[in-house]
């Protein structure tokens, strides 16, 4: 009897212990991640550093790789480790595959009708399918290699005609990429002086748009105040949208008049879709046409040109990498020939340079913020529905526990045959283009343009700084990561035959 009483008491104690543990686990796991306390009402807004990627990295060193930060009435969640990034972008991808659309983005993206800001669902899937199949897929890109070649060769000719004079590398590459993209979008619809004007106007617009998108905005931190647009950000973005429309609308009208017998480019395809109305489940409207044009122009220009600029700057800072890349080019291409895109697969060291640049300077250091559609457990905590989730890929790529000498520019690390580094987003130690269903749609385009452009610049010219100037590798944060000071360098022809610059 005494034994059975003791056994019952022991079993009761175990059951009580399990119940307490379960209750404690539920209460702890239902909480959002810890983070800086902040101030009443405004949270951590007064302490925000404009260089958000480095500010979040410093906070992660104190609060851990998963922390929350109150920004007005909005809750931000910052992820800074591969394991946690995997949970957000892969394990719970359907939940996190949405966006908390900033007020400025809602204006410039025609109400969020584009690929970047559209919520996960049938419309977003249709838009992405259209872009990848008709413009950004391998087959589509192969078909327009001639356009890329024409623009890159035109750039080489332009630089040759300005040999010995300082060149703003980023600005030049922006115009090259812009001409490629607009040619792919609407072909020969814009020609001559108008084409040159459109390219320059787009560059001014894109710079202003990315600056506004990266600017902290009271409307986003206190949505109840959004109607007042206290900082005038939405008003300024509306003016930029009108300027875009003044470029888009004549091009669209001209293409409509040409009809389906005109050029078979992306705009012609979209106008045909718009005329047919899409399908029964996902209508395709003129708003979608303009929003996708905006995506291509804004999303594909600065990101690509900045990467080329960063690559040349890092290699000039470390001449041994420049020498090795040139030796590889001379062996694969020769000095009596010009670079073709077909050479790129035979340039493994140049490929390693590009991967290393994107490790140190990912185009979007915090990716595009994600937004959970329902509460979701991550890392033992609950990420609340509607919070703004930042994945600090910049910090992960510089984590000393993951990378040897993480701050040093070492392309050789990507030549290690034991690691098959790529841009697929499957390895959460290295995912410069994101991962999951919201991974960048333009990876193939970026790979081709960056590789071909950089190879052509290195093969055709020696590069040096103007006398009395110093190389600066300081970053400037925005939705797109830029060099704080543009790379201005002097090209000197290195090929013996002047005809190779024609």
The binding site for heme comprises 440
d(CA 502, CA 316): 26
d(CA 188, CA 477): 36
* Annotated binding-site ranges: 440
- φ, ψ for residue 79 (rounded to 5)? -110, 130
Alpha helices in 189-336 (DSSP H): 192-213, 218-221, 233-258, 266-276, 286-317, 319-332
- φ, ψ for residue 344 (rounded to 5)? -60, -35
In the chain, the N- to C-terminal Cα span, in Å, equals 103
Q: What angle do CA 163, 165, 166 make, to 5 degrees?
A: 120
Q: Name which of 292, 263, 290 is nearest 129 in CA terms.
A: 292
Q: Name which of 494, 492, 489, 493 is nearest 166 in CA terms.
A: 489
The burial of 296, by beta-carbon neighbours within 10 Å (0-12 exposed, 13-18 middle, 19 or more buried), is given as: buried
Q: Which residues pair with 389 in a beta bridge?
A: 77, 370
Task: Report, in angstroms and rounded to the nearest whole number, the Rg of the chain calculated over CA atoms.
Answer: 25
d(CA 407, CA 384): 34
Q: What is the largest CA-CA distance in the chain?
A: 106
Q: Which residues pair with 475 in a beta bridge?
A: 483
d(CA 44, CA 3): 60
Give me the half-sphere count of Cα atoms (radius 13 Å) on the Cβ side of residue 479.
Answer: 20
Asked whether 108 and 209 are in contact (CB, 8 A), the reply is yes
- Tokens representing 91? 């394990």
């Amino acid at each position: 009897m005494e034994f059975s009483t003791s056994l019952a008491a022991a079993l009761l104690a175990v059951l009580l212990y399990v119940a307490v543990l379960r209750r404690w686990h539920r209460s702890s796991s239902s909480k959002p991640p810890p983070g800086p306390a902040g101030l009443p009402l405004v949270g951590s807004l007064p302490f925000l550093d404009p260089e958000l990627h480095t500010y979040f990295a410093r906070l992660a060193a104190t609060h851990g790789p998963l922390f929350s930060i109150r920004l007005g009435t909005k809750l931000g969640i910052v992820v800074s480790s591969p394991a946690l990034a995997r949970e957000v972008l892969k394990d719970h991808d359907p939940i996190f595959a949405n966006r908390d659309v900033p007020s400025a983005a809602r204006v410039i993206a025609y109400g969020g009708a584009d690929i970047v800001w559209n919520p996960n669902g049938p419309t977003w899937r249709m838009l992405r399918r259209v872009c990848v199949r008709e413009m950004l897929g391998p087959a589509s890109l192969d078909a327009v290699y001639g356009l890329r070649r024409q623009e890159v060769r035109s750039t080489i000719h332009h630089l040759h005609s300005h040999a010995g004079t300082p060149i703003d590398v980023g600005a030049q590459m922006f115009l090259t990429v812009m001409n490629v993209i607009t040619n792919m979008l609407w072909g020969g619809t814009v020609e001559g002086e108008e084409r040159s004007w459109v390219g320059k106007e787009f560059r001014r617009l894109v710079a202003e748009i990315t600056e506004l998108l990266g600017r902290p905005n009271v409307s986003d931190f206190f949505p109840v105040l959004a109607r007042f647009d206290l900082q005038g950000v939405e008003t300024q973005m509306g003016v930029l949208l009108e300027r875009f429309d003044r470029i888009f609308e004549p091009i669209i009208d001209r293409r409509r008049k040409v009809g389906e017998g005109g050029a078979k480019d992306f705009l012609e395809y979209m106008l045909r879709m718009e005329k047919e109305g899409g399908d029964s489940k996902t209508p395709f409207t003129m708003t979608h046409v303009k929003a996708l044009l905006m995506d291509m122009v804004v999303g594909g220009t600065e990101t690509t040109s900045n990467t080329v600029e960063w690559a040349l700057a890092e290699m000039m800072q470390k001449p041994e990498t420049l020498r090795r890349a040139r030796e590889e080019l001379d062996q694969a291409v020769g000095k009596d020939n010009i670079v073709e895109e077909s050479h790129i697969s035979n340039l493994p060291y140049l490929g390693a340079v590009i991967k290393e640049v994107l490790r140190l300077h990912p185009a979007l250091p915090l990716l595009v913020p994600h937004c959970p559609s329902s509460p979701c457990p991550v890392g033992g905590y609950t990420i609340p529905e509607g919070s703004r989730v930042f994945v600090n890929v910049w910090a992960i790529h510089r984590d000393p526990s993951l990378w040897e000498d993480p701050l040093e520019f070492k392309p050789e690390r990507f030549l290690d045959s034991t690691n098959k580094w790529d841009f697929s987003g499957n390895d959460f130690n290295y995912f410069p283009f994101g991962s999951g269903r919201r991974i960048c749609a333009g990876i193939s385009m970026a790979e081709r343009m960056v590789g071909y452009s950089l190879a052509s610049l290195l093969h055709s010219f020696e590069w040096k700084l103007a006398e009395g100037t110093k190389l600066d590798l300081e970053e400037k944060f925005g939705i797109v990561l830029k060099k704080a000071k543009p790379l201005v360098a002097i090209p000197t022809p290195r090929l013996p035959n002047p005809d190779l610059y024609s």
